Amino acid sequence: MSYTKPQFNEKYGNFINGKFVDPIGGEYFENKSPIDNSLIAKYPRSKKEDVQLAVDAANAAKDAWGNTSAAERAAMLNKVADIIEANLEEFALVETCDNGKAIRETINADVPLSIDHWRYFASVIRAEEGSATELDQNTLSMNIKEPLGVVAQIIPWNFPLLMLSWKMPPALAAGNCVILKPAEQTPSSATLLMEKIADVFPPGVVNIIHGFGPEAGKPLASNSGVDKVAFTGETTTGQLIMQYASKNLNPVTMELGGKSPNIFFNSVMDEDDAFLDKAIEGAVLFAFNQGEVCTCPSRLLVQEDIYDAFMEKVIARTKAIVQTNPYDSSCMMGAQASNDQFEKILSYINIGKEEGAKVLTGGNACKLDGDLANGYYIEPTILEGHNKMRVFQEEIFGPVLAVTKFKDEADAIAIANDTLYGLGAGVWTRDAHQLYQIPRAIKAGRVWVNCYHAYPAHAPFGGYKKSGFGRETHLMMMNHYRQNKNMLISYDKNKLGFF
Amino acid sequence: MKFERIAITEEAAKIVEKLKAEHGELIFHQSGGCCDGSAPMIFEKEDMYLDDSDIHLGELCGVNYYMNEEQFEYWKHTHLTVDITEGRGSSFSLEIPLGLRFIIHSRLLSEEENSALNK
């Protein structure tokens, strides 16, 4: 089945205080599709003044919103989920157009997962309770969870609707008002969502600001009217946002990427069965979403005694990846999100070669025909080398797999942990002891065991080391969006006796 | 002979000069991590807090270039050339509103360069 590029308006506004508004300065930027470099629409080039409008609207709305019942908030979150579900294909098409990813991924992963995250947070707030402890016969300590107030969220372009759906629902469920800035490369699905849900929340509760990082992102992250900043991106911007937050003494959460090891022990090849088939797919998941995933399993570690046989299968499966029009259901890997990403990836493949890595497959840009010739396609690439090479240490954010061998468990753990990051990891084995001990030894926030790239709403996700801190996609995230009010109540009629 | 760890293309240098005229004194910082990471970013000099953990790689068009020391450990055997390309990043780097992005081209340091720079 093949789809075509969806229709867009000529230009869109920011969504502030329950309605779409033009940017105050009247400036817009052009957003193009990485599929064929064609124009999508113009979006606001917001500045400090636009950000302030959103911050003011959110602050005006926060007291009333913070006092709504969990039942009311849950009903609204569920309504958003229903609206996205009723328009699933439309959201999927817009996402594919804006980001370049294959339509089979947006239809089967991005949009359904987004829907589920709204439902998950709608449900958990209905079951959640505070706590009360009788400290002694006459003293009660009572903990009530209160919202922070106004939360700023800055999200990346690799999963635009899904990253929005990881960040917004827990903040709203916790009773906060939100100002979200989508990445300037991918403003479309957030805008479509606001069009569809414009009337669901009271004005000011949900706000979307478009624009460039230095002009709109910075004034949002440093605004004293904001009570918390949540960011997904890279380390330098992460450091800057923490600096700005320190001026306001605001809490932050950071998800800053990784260089995730995917480790295959020799027992995976003990049988030629469905599990081996699953394991091979698990190694090839580096190509999922064109490799533009913070947890991309971009370092493949294979035990030396199965290395040749295992890699033969991985290379064959990688070569079978179909690269064609991302709107076509047969497309397995779409376009890289932008020209600069495209250039960066090719530059990394180059330094990999210079450092002596051997190209096992791919290694070039992928030339597609017709309008697609203007898009940004790269062949899924496997580079064989060692863990000190830069292609093993830096997040390329493209379909580039760096593979190396290991001798034994200790060697696998040493290589896996020899990285600045600690976001994800994969461990594949049929050995019951390794199934537990290896994941425990890896310094990463999420270790997939005999699976990879699963992101259910009920499992916490977040990093160790330079990958950041905070845990998303789980009830745990709610506590990053609220305060604890402790009421210490005395039922004793007698005075202390000091004065 | 003096060796350098970093260089800049003519096109990129023009953009640095343009940004200097607009924003005043600047610094480059090499980012790591996901999305727009693994790219050089340019900021107003006072914007980013730097300390001993930031290695000074050199100066391009009068702009000091820094990288975190832990990242530097994995990069120090390579020479970096800052270039500019069309694109759109979502970081706070100052060239982004121009519809441009700084990118890095790398090559291995020669033996001679390596022994002079990484003593």
> Tens digit of pLDDT for each residue in A263-313?
999 999 999 999 999 999 999 999 999 999 999 999 999 999 999 999 999
What's the pLDDT score for residue A398? Answer: 97
Q: Helices (DSSP H) in A87-159: which residue ranges? A: 88-99, 103-105, 111-127
CB-based contact (8 Å) between A387 and chain B?
A: no
Q: Indicate the residue type of A458.
A: H
Contact at 8 Å (CB) between A443 and A422?
yes
Active-site annotation of A, residues: 255, 294
pLDDT digits (tens, 9 = 90+) for A397-442: 999 999 999 999 999 999 999 999 999 999 999 999 999 999 999 9
Beta strand pairing status for B6-8 and B78-86?
parallel
Beta strand pairing status for B63-68 and B78-86?
unpaired
Burial class (CB in 10 A: 0-12, 13-18, 19+), A117: buried
Inspect the interface and report whether the beta carbons of A420 and B41 lie closer than 8 Å: no
**Among A258, A344, A355, beta carbon nearest to B38:** A344
B88 pLDDT more than 90 = no
What's the pLDDT score for residue A418? Answer: 97
Contacts of A388 in chain B (CB under 8 A): 74
Considering only CB atoms, which residues of chain B are within 8 Å of chain A? 29-39, 41, 43, 47-49, 68, 70-71, 74-75, 78, 85-94, 96-97, 99, 101, 103-108
DSSP-assigned letters across all residues of A312-347 = HHHHHHHHT---S-TTBTT-SS---S-HHHHHHHHH
For A445-470, letters b (16+ CB in 10 Å) and e give bbbbeeebbebebeeebbbbbbbbeb
Q: What are phi and psi of B19, to 5 degrees?
A: -70, -35
Q: Which tokens is A436 given?
A: 């537990």
pLDDT digits (tens, 9 = 90+) for A82-135: 999 999 999 999 999 999 999 999 999 999 999 999 999 999 999 999 999 999
What's the pLDDT score for residue A98? Answer: 98
Inspect the interface and report whether the beta carbons of A243 and B91 lie closer than 8 Å: no
Regarding an ipTM greater than 0.85, the answer is: yes
| Angstrom distances, CA of residue A444 to CA of A438, A440, A463, B68 | 11, 9, 6, 21
**Any idea how long chain A is?**
499
Contact at 8 Å (CB) between A113 and A473?
no
| Angstrom distances, CA of residue A246 to CA of A180, A223, A253, A434 | 20, 11, 13, 42
Query: d(Cα A402, Cα A392) in Å, to the nearest integer?
Result: 6
What's the pLDDT score for residue B90? Answer: 78
What's the pLDDT score for residue B32? Answer: 84
Query: d(Cα A428, Cα A183) in Å, to the nearest integer?
Result: 34
% of chain A exceeding 70 in pLDDT: 100
Q: Indicate the residue type of A281.
A: E
Query: d(Cα A465, Cα A220) in Å, to the nearest integer?
Result: 26
Q: Indicate the residue type of A93.
A: L
**Among A343, A388, A466, beta carbon nearest to B32:** A466
CB-based contact (8 Å) between A278 and chain B?
A: no
What is the mean predicted confidence (pLDDT) over A142-148? Answer: 97
Q: For the sheet containing B63-68, what is the strand order?
A: B40-44, B26-30, B63-68, B54-60
Inspect the interface and report whether the beta carbons of B48 and A217 lie closer than 8 Å: no
Contact at 8 Å (CB) between A44 and A211?
yes
What's the pLDDT score for residue B36? Answer: 78
Q: What are phi and psi of A152, to 5 degrees?
A: -100, 135
Q: Which tokens is B5 given?
A: 């760890």
For the beta carbon of residue A367, count every other beta carbon within 10 angstroms.
10
